[in-house]
């Protein structure tokens, strides 16, 4: 009889995860490593990234850290080439890096707008540009992009973030159409409010008391709690595994029912 874990088996696969030093990125790297993947953590925070890789190694997983600013196409090219040279393949790409600025279009400075759009949207483009040819050479792969509930409906004082995540959602669909013939599946996980450093940073930007802000973020959801990074990691595991072998171009909302 087929064991449940066999459906998620990732032994021998190489997974590249942006924003991998903390939050959803780290939780996902840990989860994929638990199922046998060699995880490559990409982040701009070198100290935190090295620590994250060591934590996974200490748990028996295979992990490496690469410093990479996803906004730089040249850095993305260099990192993907280094990973291909070391491992000969990339099977899974989780485009997860993102930042937020809680401001309206009137309040946003140009550099705020550029940063948010570039990290979430251009970053996904940059990594995908270089990873897809590598995946194609080894017969295909799975790309998962991090969207947001606010990429599907609007939110207050988050104009650049809503725009970036809406772009990620439809970029996912376009890539799924373009690269399905190469056996590359492209899907999107769209979290609701999740207890991560990014959410706590939102409280600071809005001058809100952190614990009260986290409580308010959970209110009104049918499941009556915030998401955890592990909740999102489990959704990414589904898309990364063969259990979703006929799923592409999909947007999975993981938000405790917030958009319901």
Half-sphere exposure of 228 (CA within 13 A, CB side): 4
Give the number of other CB atoms < 10 A from CB of residue 71. 17
Give the catalytic positions in this structure: 161
Answer positive or negative: Cα dihedral of 88, 59, 56, 238.
positive
Q: Are strands 14-18 and 92-95 parallel, antiparallel or unpaired?
A: parallel
């Amino acid at each position: 009889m087929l064991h449940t874990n066999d459906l998620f088996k990732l032994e021998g696969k190489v997974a590249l995860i942006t924003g991998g030093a903390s939050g959803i990125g780290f939780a996902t790297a840990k989860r994929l490593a638990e199922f046998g993947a060699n995880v490559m953590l990409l982040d701009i925070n070198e100290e935190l990234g090295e620590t994250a890789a060591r934590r996974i190694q200490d748990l028996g997983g295979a992990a490496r850290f690469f410093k990479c600013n996803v906004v730089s196409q040249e850095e993305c090219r260099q990192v993907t080439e280094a990973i291909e040279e070391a491992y000969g393949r990339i099977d899974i790409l989780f485009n997860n890096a993102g930042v937020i600025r809680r401001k309206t279009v009137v309040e946003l400075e140009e550099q705020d707008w550029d940063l948010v759009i570039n990290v979430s949207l251009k970053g996904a483009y940059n990594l995908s540009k270089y990873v897809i040819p590598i995946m194609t050479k080894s017969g295909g792969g799975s790309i998962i992009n991090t969207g947001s509930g606010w990429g599907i409906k609007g939110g207050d004082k988050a104009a650049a973030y809503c725009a970036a995540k809406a772009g990620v959602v439809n970029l996912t669909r376009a890539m799924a159409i373009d690269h399905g013939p190469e056996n590359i599946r492209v899907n999107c996980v769209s979290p609701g409010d999740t207890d991560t450093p990014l959410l706590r940073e939102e409280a600071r930007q809005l001058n809100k008391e952190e614990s009260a802000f986290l409580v308010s973020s959970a209110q009104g959801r049918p499941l009556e709690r915030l998401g955890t990074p592990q909740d999102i990691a489990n959704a990414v595991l589904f898309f990364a595994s063969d259990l979703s072998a006929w799923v592409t171009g999909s947007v999975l909302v993981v938000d405790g029912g917030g958009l319901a």
